[in-house]
Structure 1
Amino acid sequence: MAQTQDQGQHHPISLYLKIWAMLFLLSTLSYLVDYYQFSGYLRWSLIILFMLLKAGLIVAVFMHMAWERLAMVYAILLPPLCLLVLIGLMASEADYIFMSRVLFLGQGQGPGAP
């Protein structure tokens, strides 16, 4: 008695419609940040927050990461997270390097300076 099983994952269409509605809402909020003319760190933090939320929804639902095994999730998401940590470490050391250069090399001492 051989049974054939469908190996694909099928999700209700309502799930996809809800995700599309959430993506539309997040995009609208991102555009409203520009419309209301937020500026400075608030503007960039809101834009990056909405961007990351949209990317997370797309990866979790449309790439089926929410239903994958943990090893697959780690294999796909861990390398970019490691790169983000390294970028953060380099950004945190940037001020120290800049101040060291100013202290030891002088400010404004470029080619052709008197």
Structure 2
Amino acid sequence: MVVLEKILMAERVGRRVNSAVAESNLFEMECVHVGNLVGCLRPMLHDLVAYISAASPPLYDRPIVRIVIEVSKNLERALTLVWKCKRCTLFRRFVTGKHATDFPRIFALLDSSIADMN
């Protein structure tokens, strides 16, 4: 049942990413794209929970745990990046160049998470 806890934790992070996307002020288009990718992952996590709950013989869950841990890390990274975009101070606007280069990496990580979940 450790798998279900990790999946539900990843689902909570996904909800937090979506709420942070709604509050973002900087890089709005990129944040919306991150939100769309996270939106693709959330139903996959729900389906995985349903699949694990319905499995009558016990599953060998080590590969599932590894994938869910990696998805969870990628969702945390996405949350951190999108959360940084919702702060809108004058100093932050001058120092946002680093965040602009982080979006393609997050897009690639979330795409690989979607592929792993498939």
After TM superposition, the score normalised by the length of structure 2 is 0.38
| Structure showing greater relative contact order (alpha-carbon pairs closer than 8 Å, 6 or more residues apart) | 2
Q: Of the two, which has the highest radius of gyration?
A: 1
Structure number with the higher helix fraction is 2
Using structure 1 for the length normalisation, give the TM-score.
0.39
